[in-house]
Amino acid sequence: MAETIIPDNSGGQESLKLNLKNIFTFLSSLDYIRAIEKSSAFRYIDSSQLFFIGERQSLILFVYTHTSFWVLVAYIFMIISAHLILGIDPIYAILGISIAYLISGLWFVYRYTWGNGYLWQIVKSFMLNLTISAFVISVVIDITVLYLIPSIYDAAVKWLNSGSKEGPLNQLGHAGIQAVVEFIQPLMDKYMPEIKKYTVIYMIASPLKVIAFAVPTIVMFYLHRLRKDPKKRLNKILVKIA
């Protein structure tokens, strides 16, 4: 099925390929690979060698362009909708959404962390890059929202009050900045208490987004330690039963 695994016969070699069309086809691919791993079909080969460099790069690109982006969009949308539609305090909405992402991440690693081959390489790469991207995106947005934009605005206001007004470019820039300041400043004066409140909420949300993915990643490595050798794990279960 196109929704699961796409055989790749290029170069005369058969290999398994992930379907990275969207998150659902990706999970479908993992289900198929998980079934193969559990059936011991890779018992006599090092299946980690199936995770080619090109596929690794495609997965990383998928994490950054699809998964992380839509996670951030969904995060912001759910916080706003929870506050405006349901009347839930944004802080509680953030905590609820972070817990939901945390549970989803734990479900993902619990379901797909298996063996020490192809499936493990995919899951490890996905979760590590998801956690890294969540951190990088949070840092970039934090710097932009909390430092860069306010610094640019303060510099523009300072230039407006003391900068040169001679020359056509300076006059044009002066008129444009003045129009922006005249539009924004009354809004800031009116909504400053709300802005300060949401700044605090935003600063709380930023680390929670990272923690929601970092914790499942840590659990993933613990599960891998227990499950990387299915034969030893089965022997331990049999010893306990006996």
Average pLDDT over residues 48-72: 85
Task: Tell me the C-alpha distance between 48 and 76, whole Å.
Answer: 37
Task: Tell me: pLDDT of 127 over 90.
Answer: yes
pLDDT digits (tens, 9 = 90+) for 131-158: 998 888 777 777 777 777 777 777 777 7
Amino acid (1-letter code) at residue 239: V
Please state, rounded to an integer, the average pLDDT across all residues of the chain: 78
pLDDT at residue number 4: 38
Q: Is the pTM of this model over 0.85?
A: no
Average pLDDT over residues 182-198: 72
pLDDT digits (tens, 9 = 90+) for 193-219: 766 767 777 777 778 878 888 999 999
Average pLDDT over residues 158-178: 68
Residue 106 neighbours by CB under 8 Å, 6+ apart: 215, 216, 219
Q: Which residue has the higher pLDDT, 32 or 140?
A: 32
Task: Say if CB 140 and CB 59 are below 8 A apart.
Answer: no
Structure tokens that stand for 63 in this block: 């994490």
pLDDT at residue number 230: 64
Phi-psi category of residue 167: left, alpha or beta, with phi > 0 → left and psi -120 to 50 → alpha = left
Q: Which residue has the higher pLDDT, 16 or 25?
A: 25
pLDDT at residue number 79: 73
Task: Tell me the C-alpha distance between 228 and 124, whole Å.
Answer: 12
Task: Tell me the C-alpha distance between 206 and 199, whole Å.
Answer: 11
90: closest CA among 75, 102, 100, 103? 75
